[in-house]
Every structure is written in structure tokens, then in C-alpha cells.
């Protein structure tokens, strides 16, 4: 019997592609070409499954052009590149990679918060530019992490990981806002108090965004929300581009309406709003929150395992939808 045909849409660890080859007839994008939606659709025309990395859009038009496609395994916990309704209606299974990246991403969120509040990259640029000629009492004075109030918007697994780091490691007072309130047990574990979004923005010294991107969460933080924040506050976005109105944020940073921001994700990435590149009080990183070798390997292996389990008939390990009937 012939093997199912799989496309690996971006370059990933070669040994994990080799593992897929044991089960499937694999076409791999070894050169890591960024295909247009049309090029992706052409390659999927004869494929049964695809391993995506979060930047390939799977929508009704692509599904129509790929009539054999049965499963899309995203190598990311976020899956806003999937039109889940269109996939479910077409009988196409989607999967993602939760859990394996939680702690690594929470580590990074906390690192970005600290770099932002303590002005680490801004001061490093100053030093590298040869501008450091004397010590002064207020040179790159930032804001404290320990003992301050941490506001987390989006209290899923990663948000909870950041809350624990803040509450247990740095004695922070943690407040959070989420679509639904956590159980009393989880709130106690995270030492976190539920508050409304506006209250969180008013009282937090540091705001961290970990909310999934959906049309409803588009511009969760825009000019009106930034206006509620303390002028000494920092804002960190490790969620998704589009959760923050980047143009409004650049204005707020330039006018010092908030102290600083740390951004790992951007609207329209890999493009970055040009105004963000010229304000000094922002730390910018290229969507690397889950980027450690063990975690990226675990993500790629889980995406591969989802494909293998799906075609073995065991069902996907970490599904994002439940089509009534499969293609
Ligand atoms: C995710 O898993 O959603 C991260 O953003 C990595 O792409």
C-alpha cells in the first residue's frame, strides 16, 4: 500500500524529517523557501497531510485547491494561521503543540519583562556606541520588578507560568484578566487575583500579554488602553502580532505615556512598524519566545507525532478541532 503524502512546509530538524520519511512519502522544504499562498496550494494539491510552522495560512481557498488534504499539524501552540471553521467544515483535522513550550515561553516572557523594565538593550546600545564616559546617579534608571504589581492578560498555561515566576520568585503582586476566571486552586497556585481589564491596566506596573489571537482579541491594547496605563509602566507582548496596535504603541512610547515595551511579536511580522525601530524605549526580538533547541525539537516531534497518530488511525494527540466527518 502506498504511503500517505506529506508536505513539510518549512525547514525543520533534518532527523525529524527522516523520522517522518519512515511513515510517509515526504516532500520537505529543505531550502526554507517562503512560498506564496498559490505556491503552497500547488504543492498541497496531491498531499494528504502538511506540517506547518504557524505562518502558512490554511483557509477555504487552499482547502479547495488541496482536495486530498486531511490533516494540518502546526508546529506552534498558536494556530491563528488556521481558519478552523473552514477546516472543520471541510472535514480537515488541525493540531497544534501545547504544553511542550510552556515553561520555555514563560522563561522568555519573564526575561523580556526584565530586559524592558531594566532598560538592558537601550543601555547596551549606549555602551557599544562608545557613549559611556562616566557613571551618573540616574543613568538608565528603570523600574523594579521585585515587589511590583504584575498584570497578566491571558491566563492560559504560559500566563500561569509567568505568574508563578513573578509571585514566587520575585515577590510580585499578581493580577490577571482572562476570558474565564481560573479555579480557586489555580489562583492560589499562581497567587493571582482576577480583575477587570481596565482595572488591571490602571494598577499594574508591568503588563504582560499572553492572549491567543482571534478577531475578538485584535488590538486588545490600543490608544485607549495605553492611556489607562501608568506613565511608569512597561508592556510586554509575547502573544501574537495584532494583539497590540503597534502604531499607537510607538506614539505612546515616543511621548513617554508609558515607560517602555518589550515585543517579541508584531503586526505583519517579519515586518516591524518603522516607528518602533526608531524609539529607544522598546526591546525588540524576532518571535523567539519558544526558541530553545530542546523546546523547538519537542514542538517539531509533537507535530510529527500528530501526523503519525492521525494516519495510524489512533487520532490526533493534540487536536484543535473536531470535524464531524473526516475527508
Ligand atoms: C507558538 O507556538 O505559537 C509560538 O508563537 C511559536 O511560533
pLDDT, one tens digit per residue, over 31-65 is 999 999 999 999 999 999 999 999 999 999 999 99
Q: Answer yes or no: is pLDDT of 301 > 90.
A: yes
Grid coordinates given for 150: 504584575
Contact status, residue 150 vs residue 176, Cβ threshold 8 Å: no
Ligand 1 atom with the smallest distance to the CA of 287 is: 5
Residue 146 confidence (pLDDT) above 90:
yes
- How do 260-263 and 93-95 pair as beta strands? unpaired
- Sheet containing 260-263: order of strands: 192-194, 173-177, 149-153, 206-209, 234-237, 260-263, 282-284
Which of 76, 104, 240, 285 best tests ligand 1's pocket when mutated (most atoms within 8 Å of CB)?
Answer: 76
Residues 172, 180: Cα–Cα separation, whole Å: 22
- Mean pLDDT, residues 123-131 taken together: 98
Query: Cβ distance 172 to 148 under 8 Å?
Result: yes
Residue 154 confidence class, pLDDT cut points 50, 70, 90: very high
pLDDT of 179 reads: 95
Per the structure block, which three cell numbers stand in for 131? 557613549
Write down the pLDDT at residue 171.
98
In percent, the amount of the chain with pLDDT more than 70 equals: 100
Q: What is the pLDDT of residue 271?
A: 97
**What confidence score (pLDDT) does residue 71 get?**
98
Mean pLDDT of 193-215: 98
| % pLDDT > 90, the chain | 100
pLDDT above 90 (res 90): yes
Which residues lie with the beta carbon below 6 Å from any ligand 1 atom?
54, 76-78, 101, 290
| Pair 57, 41: CB distance under 8 Å | no
Q: Which whole number is the average pLDDT over 18-25?
A: 98
Q: What is the pLDDT of residue 1?
A: 76
Q: 318 and 306 in contact (C-beta within 8 Å)?
A: yes
**pLDDT at residue number 238:** 98
Looking at ligand 1, which atom is closest to the CA of residue 96? Answer: 2
Residue nearest to atom 1 of ligand 1 (CA): 76
Tens-digit pLDDT profile for residues 215-241: 999 999 999 999 999 999 999 999 999
The residues assigned a catalytic role are: 240, 269, 287
Rounded-to-integer distance, Cα 250 and Cα 150, Å: 22
Band of residue 127 on the pLDDT scale cut at 50, 70, 90: very high
Per-residue pLDDT averaged across 244-270, rounded? 98
For the chain, the average pLDDT equals: 98
Query: Domains of the chain (ranges plus CATH)?
Result: 5-100+293-311 (3.40.50.720), 102-284 (3.40.50.720)
Amino acid at each position: 500500500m502506498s504511503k500517505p503524502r506529506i508536505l513539510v512546509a518549512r525547514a525543520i530538524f533534518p532527523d525529524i524529517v527522516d523520522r517522518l520519511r519512515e511513515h510517509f512519502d515526504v516532500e520537505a522544504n529543505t531550502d526554507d523557501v517562503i512560498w506564496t499562498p498559490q505556491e503552497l496550494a500547488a504543492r498541497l494539491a496531491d498531499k494528504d497531510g502538511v506540517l506547518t510552522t504557524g505562518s502558512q495560512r490554511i483557509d477555504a481557498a487552499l482547502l479547495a485547491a488541496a482536495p486530498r488534504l486531511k490533516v494540518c499539524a502546526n508546529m506552534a501552540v498558536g494556530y491563528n494561521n488556521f481558519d478552523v471553521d473552514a477546516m472543520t467544515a471541510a472535514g480537515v483535522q488541525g493540531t497544534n503543540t501545547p504544553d511542550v513550550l510552556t515553561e520555555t515561553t514563560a522563561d522568555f516572557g519573564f526575561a523580556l519583562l526584565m530586559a524592558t523594565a531594566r532598560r538592558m538593550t537601550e543601555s547596551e546600545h549606549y555602551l557599544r556606541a562608545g557613549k559611556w564616559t562616566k557613571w551618573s546617579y540616574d543613568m538608565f534608571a528603570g523600574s523594579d520588578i521585585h515587589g511590583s504589581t504584575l498584570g497578566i492578560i491571558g491566563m492560559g498555561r504560559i500566563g500561569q507560568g509567568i505568574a508563578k515566576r513573578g509571585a514566587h520568585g520575585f515577590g510580585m503582586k499578581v493580577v490577571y484578566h482572562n476570558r474565564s476566571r481560573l479555579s480557586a486552586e489555580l489562583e492560589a497556585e499562581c497567587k493571582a487575583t482576577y480583575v477587570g481589564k481596565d482595572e488591571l491596566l490602571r494598577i499594574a506596573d508591568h503588563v504582560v500579554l499572553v492572549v491567543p489571537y482571534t478577531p475578538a482579541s485584535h488590538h486588545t491594547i490600543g490608544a485607549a488602553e495605553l492611556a489607562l496605563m501608568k506613565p511608569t509602566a512597561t508592556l510586554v507582548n509575547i502573544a501574537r502580532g495584532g494583539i497590540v496596535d503597534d502604531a499607537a504603541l510607538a506614539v505612546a512610547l515616543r511621548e513617554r505615556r508609558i515607560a517602555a515595551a518589550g515585543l517579541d511579536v508584531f503586526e505583519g511580522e517579519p515586518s516591524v512598524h518603522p516607528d518602533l525601530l526608531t524609539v529607544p524605549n522598546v526591546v525588540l526580538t524576532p518571535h523567539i519566545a519558544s526558541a530553545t533547541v530542546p523546546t523547538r525539537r519537542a514542538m517539531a516531534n509533537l507535530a510529527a507525532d500528530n501526523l503519525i497518530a492521525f494516519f495510524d488511525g489512533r487520532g490526533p494527540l493534540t487536536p484543535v478541532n473536531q470535524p464531524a466527518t473526516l475527508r
